[in-house]
Chains A and B, each alone.
Chain A
């Protein structure tokens, strides 16, 4: 029964993916998983949407950053496009908390009552911020803090989203944009690029015009608006919204033969994803990656304000090429998204192939490369923007190291397990930083001599 529902739900998600790919978001495949080709922006947005993740979509203006997110949200969460548009936050410098999160009910305020009118953005589970880098940093911070916990506060009131995902778009740096500072960028699980689809697909887009008409339903959109504007409790409104979503799902099924997902089904999918274990190689590989991105033999760990010593023994490893230490959000993102991908392709375990596919997109926005490393890569031929390209190269190099040393690393971890359980074994020594980290975790003092 469980496996049947597994298959059916997976099929439904595949249908959503295929429908968007064939009818709404035309683009070239640019990643391969299990021998099958996918478009990274579409696939990863889909997985992120299912996983309650946060995705930063970058790209040139007009290449479908926002629309791809809208389509994914519409089909995954069963919201008509008009409702999604009404909840989007546009990035511009004069956004305020009142426009983004909520405002006082002015009528009630004049009568002396503090009642919050929550914005659609705060209430709905799908959150799209267009051109987030045009928002001032304080507003970026406010949105990301809210989405971190699903907790929105205004005046003395608060709502908690039980289910939510965030898609933020950003153009490349140009006049009139701010930067997204590192602590905020770190909160995104993934960064993907919405690429130009190529001349031939672009011509097709030109012929067809803007798609998505099938995802509109004015009557339902009005109902959504009415429900969201009610002055009832947030929970009551969300129940009503869920019913409307189910109605929209039925309409899509009947009129366009698209299977979509209910909240309960999304919960089941998430539970299934959470239960997908990592195989030992994926486990060891991820530990190795974490190690290379955080290790510093001389100073204990990587820090942005400390530079590497000349002639450091670990010059050949990734730690030597980066300036910052990877955050703890990274392994959470990597794990969630890798499980999502493994579930999507129907695998029982998360393996190295899933990690290899996902890691560049979870790392691209989190790594601050040293100037000289950037210089080595920026003029290389590539099909991705520089941060994603460098992240892919980095993962490739680390994977190659793992292929060479994976056996010893797993052995070292196995020995460490026994040592941690009290057996008197000697921890295995090796050159890679992970061997040093293992010894540190076992209580050995391994300072540089």
Chain B
């Protein structure tokens, strides 16, 4: 049968490719894998799109997240972009704050970079569980207000929040430092075992059960000593 494309046989099929195309392709691949990992996590961990915060669930979700990103090659820009995708929901049909934050924390904790800055100011959604189990040697700077359980289970890393945090900040943190430039919510430092939390603004309430660690408000130690609550 006659080849209707014969005249184009002389053209080379090698297309000139710019570095941009390789960069974008690689980025899209990584993003695809990240999103796939997150969606898989949600499918496995979240039943009926409801996820209750229980310690065992959190631990399980984190382990699953770590497992799914084990072979992923990514950098801090990918993490930031992933947060953008979570916020915009263009490619992600459902953003469930808890598992999302845990997944992001897993990404942060296993990233190559030691210092990670995330600009959350422009996002509509609130992220929870950011900085979960941040390991020693890592610094995470969050620009903007964040949600609950920020820095929960901190494991030696340094977490700086340039904004306010929600409830249960630093819950169960083992060691490391959390700095908050504005306010914190209720149950700050609940179940702390070590490390320090520095809040420059108001602390709505401190956790009832602290097994260790210290909480400072505007440079002044408030826990385990007397707490002066702003009314």
Contact = CB atoms under 8 A, between A and B. Distances in A.
Chain A interface, >50% SS class: helix
B4 interface: yes
Chain B interface, >50% SS class: loop
Interface stretch (B9-17, B83-91, B121-129, B163-171): B9-17
Q: For B8, B9, B12, B15, which residue has the most chain A Cβ atoms within 10 angstroms? A: B8
Contacts, number: 43
A414 B12 contact: yes
A350 to B, nearest CB: 12
A280 interface: yes
Contacts of B5: 413-414, 416-417, 420, 438, 441
Interface in A407-428: 407, 410-411, 413-418, 420-421, 425
The size class of the interface chain B forms with chain A is 10 to 19
Interface in B9-35: 9, 11-13, 15
A283 interface: yes
B4 A414 contact: no
Nearest to B3: A420
A421 B3 CA distance: 8
Contacts of B70: none
B9 A418 contact: yes
A410 B13 CA distance: 9
Contacts of A407: 15
A415 B4 contact: no
Contacts of B9: 414, 417-418, 421
B6 interface: yes
Nearest to B1: A420
A229 B7 CA distance: 50
Contact of B11 (A411, A420, A425, A438): A411
Interface in A276-294: 278, 280, 283-284
A414 B3 contact: no
B13 A425 contact: yes
Nearest to A277: B7
A283 B7 contact: yes
A415 B15 CA distance: 11
A420 B6 CA distance: 9
A212 B8 CA distance: 49
Nearest to B5: A417
A429 to B, nearest CB: 14
Contacts of A421: 3, 9
A91 to B, nearest CB: 41
Interface of B: 3-9, 11-13, 15
6 contacts: A280-B11, A407-B15, A418-B9, A421-B3, A425-B13, A441-B4
Given A283-B8, A414-B9, A421-B9, 19 more contacts: A278-B7, A280-B8, A284-B8, A407-B15, A411-B11, A411-B15, A413-B8, A414-B8, A415-B13, A416-B8, A417-B3, A417-B5, A417-B6, A417-B7, A420-B3, A420-B4, A425-B13, A438-B5, A441-B5
- Give the top 4 A-B pairs by smallest Cβ distance, nearest first: A414-B11, A417-B5, A413-B8, A420-B3
